[in-house]
Amino acid sequence: MLKHTLSPITIKLGPSGWIFVELPYSTERVLKIKTITGRKWQEDLHCWAIPRTARTVERLKALFSGDQIIVDPQLFKKKTKPAGWQPAIRVSPGPPSDLVFTFTNILQQEAYSPHTIKIYTFHTRRFLKAFKKTPSDLQAEDIKAYLHQLQTHNTQTYTNQAIRALKALCRLALHKSPEFLGRAFPPRAKNNNTPTN
């Protein structure tokens, strides 16, 4: 009965990559929200910040299914971008760390999960360390050579993570053309063991 006397929980749009949850206090509510990985208490705003993913709102609804919840309609609005829109990025001059910082911000804006962002930026840093040039000098052949080396010394799962990360880097942050992507990430040949007549 006590649960129903509490004020409603409010779920609001926060800054890029985050959702704010105004959670009128109860011990049970706090214990529940602490089960969410990456949550942060915002002392100045008196609310919880939750990493935003495609499933965050549904997870919060399920977690607090017995409570009244108010959801900000802005969370369901799709971003509209004009034709030809691209996020601003500075790739030259500047150190690779600039690119990693910008790539991270873009991934957050596109609502990638914190786990995916961590993996993608990890592989981006490793590639840029091996590349040893400024990002503006990047050629498709550099990526092909790097991935070939990965396949030689690492598991296929690890290599696939690197491929997805570098594809996102080239597409979202460096704005490489489809032709560039086709050269850098050529389709892998499929094994065909079907006998022929």
Within 137-191, where are the H helices? 140-153, 156-168, 178-184
At residue 120, the pLDDT reads 94
At residue 100, the pLDDT reads 86
Burial of 168 (0-12, 13-18, 19+ CB in 10 A): buried
pLDDT tier at 33 (50, 70, 90 boundaries)? very high
The topology under which CATH files domain 2-76 is: MutS, DNA mismatch repair protein, domain I (3.40.1170)
The topology under which CATH files domain 96-184 is: DNA polymerase; domain 1 (1.10.150)
Q: What is the pTM of this model?
A: 0.52
pLDDT tier at 47 (50, 70, 90 boundaries)? very high
Residue entry with tokens 């094994």? 191
Largest CA distance in the chain: 76
Residue-range domain boundaries for the chain: 2-76, 96-184
* Residue 82, pLDDT above cutoff 60: no
Cα gap 126→105, rounded to integer Å: 18
Q: Which residues of 99-130 are buried (b: 16+ CB within 10 A; e: fewer)?
A: bbebbbbbbbeeebbbebbebbbebbbebbee
Q: What average pLDDT does the structure give for the chain?
A: 81
Cα gap 128→158, rounded to integer Å: 17
- Who has greater pLDDT, 167 or 136? 167
* Residue 36, pLDDT above cutoff 60: yes
The mean-pLDDT minimum among 2-6, 127-131, 167-171 falls in 2-6
- Find out whether 11 and 20 touch, Cβ atoms under 8 Å: yes
Q: What does the pLDDT average to over 117-126? A: 93
Cα gap 20→168, rounded to integer Å: 27
* Residue 105, pLDDT above cutoff 70: yes
- Find out whether 22 and 8 touch, Cβ atoms under 8 Å: no
